[in-house]
Amino acid sequence: MRKDFLSYNPPSIGEAERSAVLETLQTPWVSTGPKTKAFEAELQAYLQAPAVVALNSCTAGLHVALLALGVGPGDEVIVPAMTFCATANVVEHVGARPVLVDVCPDSLTLSPEAVEAAITPRTKVLLPVHYAGHPVQLDELDSLAARHGLVILEDAAHAIATRYKGRLVGSRSNLTAFSFYATKNLTTVEGGCLTGDPSLVEKARIIGHHGMNRDAWKRFDRSGSWYYEVVLPGFKYNMTDVQAAIGLVQLQRLPSFQQRRREVVGRYEQAFRNLGALELPVELPWAESSWHLYVVRLRKEALRIDRNAFIEELKARNIGTSVHYLPVHMHPFYRDRYGYRPEDCPVAADAFDRMLSLPLHPGLCDEDVDDIVEAVTEVVHHHRR
């Protein structure tokens, strides 16, 4: 057994990131400035996106996207039940109703069949989530959106390196929000961005910077002007140059990060595929997952303990884990406000009851992976029916 506790998912920040921050702190720009602009340009080139605005979170990106799309009271937005609460919360923030629907049994991404059944005359936006880094079925959702006159807004918080049928998520013209939170594949500690059609991204940029007109951030620069105008009541969602400095380094390291994630996933697959008691995550033939999460589901018929006890057994062996997520329709706010029951989204509810996320990040060495595999295997064998 390990002697020290293995944290679930610490950020991969090194000397290059620390040096970039110190260098930025020695310049006149620490808030939104040239580093942020450079980060936006590098992201746009990497993602092959039509346009990019850097923000202080993915939640901010989703919020300003909904506002830019004109979503408001009386509108409905279809959201998967299996996601972090922020995906639904932003719909509430604009006064619309999040309609929570079930997910696919294999990938746990938004089910096109469930979406079709939930569309009403009030539906305005489909808000799919690339859960754990696996892409949603975009072709099927595009078809539904076209047929019903809907807009797609992608939650790509887990999906900075995800590809759908060979194309990077974030390269399409519809708005797509990314997260650069501390645990993400690419981090700026806190942060995010929004990609998509340039006119919508520019509107989102203004909404996310107090509603101030274009390039107001330059007002303290030699080339700028003190004069600006507020064209709408916006929010304080801009990214700082300190964050962007980290992001620029992380973006250069992303290919090596992704290679290591896939190596760890390969070792998990080899170790667990014949274990019998675990349902392993999938990567469907048309998908290239970013492998943000490695979510296994326990097969209850094979074990004498439940998910919570399994997690405690791993913790006792110094292995940290997490759970992603309590489905949104089971949170008290959404349950009580809209009358949802667990069985309203049975796939999500069942998955939650059986799931846990194993450590998956570039900082895992081979010995760490061996310790995880040994601990999981030991718990399974000890508690097998």
Q: Which residues are catalytic?
A: 184
Q: How many CB atoms lie within 10 A of CB 47?
A: 21
- Which residues does residue 194 pair with via DSSP β-bridges, in sequence order? 53, 177
CA distance 25 to 33: 12
CA distance 177 to 194: 4
CA distance 184 to 256: 14
Q: Which of 269, 284, 276 is nearest to 107 (CA)?
A: 284
Q: Which of 135, 178, 154 is nearest to 77 (CA)?
A: 154
Burial grade of 385 (CB within 10 A; 0-12, 13-18, 19 or more): exposed
Q: Please say whether the dihedral angle defined by the alpha carbons of residues 265, 270, 275 and 280, taken in this order, is positive or negative.
A: positive
Looking at residue 123, what DSSP letter applies?
E
CA distance 120 to 126: 12
Q: Please say whether the dihedral angle defined by the alpha carbons of residues 67, 170, 326 and 107, taken in this order, is positive or negative.
A: positive
Q: How many CB atoms lie within 10 A of CB 96?
A: 20
Name the 3-class secondary structure at 10.
coil
CA distance 174 to 196: 5
Alpha helices in the chain (DSSP H): 15-25, 34-47, 58-68, 86-93, 112-118, 138-148, 198-207, 241-272, 307-316, 332-338, 346-354, 366-382
